[in-house]
Structure 1
């Protein structure tokens, strides 16, 4: 099965964060390709990777980056595909620097951005984008959302049953 979602990161140190995007795509049985593509250390690779992604059948790119976080924006400037940026938490600024870098794209080069470190939401957004053209995937997304609702309602029932003090003790 050809990959539909590309999950890239600037460094292997970003992989622990980006694994959540990989995992949610696997949960939905959507194939991915995962690669280290550094905007600063491998710029030629980044150019070739981004420019050829749509020709390889990729539909959405998720790009995680910390620090200067140039990867999502640079990739977005090189591909016609939707790009979702994941700001990766950094030691010094806890990812705020990454977030600011990704959300400050100039007009004409959009990058969708999720919360710092929230690669799972990036994966879900990529799946939703694919779901606009795949009814069976859209159905799975709706079932997933229903399971989230059911989980919260079950917790509420337990809270009502036990009261907040006992609920906290059993949590």
Structure 2
């Protein structure tokens, strides 16, 4: 199990990956590259707002150690909010929330692995165990996750 995947090279590097910009304040993570079309909307919204971010693919079911390490070291790297997309059972947002004290925003994604069109993920995100809060936005609403992250940063 190697390094977590980064955003595909087909689109310009996010602000956080440009050396002349500020370090990322927000992380956008997803379990699979197939979730990129939904999650890149959060990246676009943050970029329009001038907020530095990073994008990572962290396969929670296939490399849980990488997810744990990423979440545990997020604050040290300067991150302040994590947006986590999930097209299945909300495993990624849950694992991130269990391993950091940063705010985590879960984006349920409808997709081929979603049993109920993304509403299964929404229910899972909304029903996290006590002490592991994850904010939930609507199905495929990555833009709202970016807006909420912005509000958290400016609170």
TM over 0.5: yes
Report the TM-score when normalising by structure 2.
0.83
Match of 2:35 among 11, 14, 22: 14
How many pairs are equivalent? 132
| Alpha-carbon separation, structure 2, partners of 1:115 and 1:7 | 16
Structure 2 residue 48 is the aligned partner of structure 1 residue 34: no
> Hey, which of these two has a bigger chunk of helix by percent?
1
Which residue number in structure 1 is paired with residue 24 of structure 2?
3
The aligned counterpart of 1:50 is 71
In structure 2, the partner of 1:79 is: 100
Mark the structure with the bigger radius of gyration. Answer: 1
The aligned residue for residue 126 of structure 1 is 149
SS at match of 2:102: coil
What is the distance in 2 between the residues matched to 1:105 and 1:93? 18
CA distance in structure 1 between the partners assigned to 2:126 and 2:87 by the alignment: 13
Q: 1:93: how far off?
A: 2.0
Q: Which residue in 1 is equivalent to 2:3?
A: none
Provide the C-alpha distance between the structure 2 equivalents of 1:74 and 1:43, rounded to a whole number of angstroms.
8
> Which SS does the other structure have where 2:71 is aligned?
helix
3-state DSSP class of the match of 2:76?
A: helix
Q: Which runs of 5+ in 1 are unaligned?
A: 133-171
Unaligned regions of 5+ residues in structure 2, if any?
A: 1-21
Residue 100 of structure 1 deviates from its aligned partner by 1.4
Could you list the per-position Cα deviations for residues 47-103 of structure 1 after superposition, in whole angstroms to 9, with x for gaps in the alignment?
A: 100000000000000000111221001100100100000001123421111111111
TM-score of the pair, normalised by structure 1: 0.75
Structure 1 residue runs of 4 or more that deviate by more than 4 Å after TM superposition: none
Deviation at 1:112, TM superposition (A): 0.3
User: What RMSD in Å do the two structures reach over aligned CA positions?
Assistant: 0.8
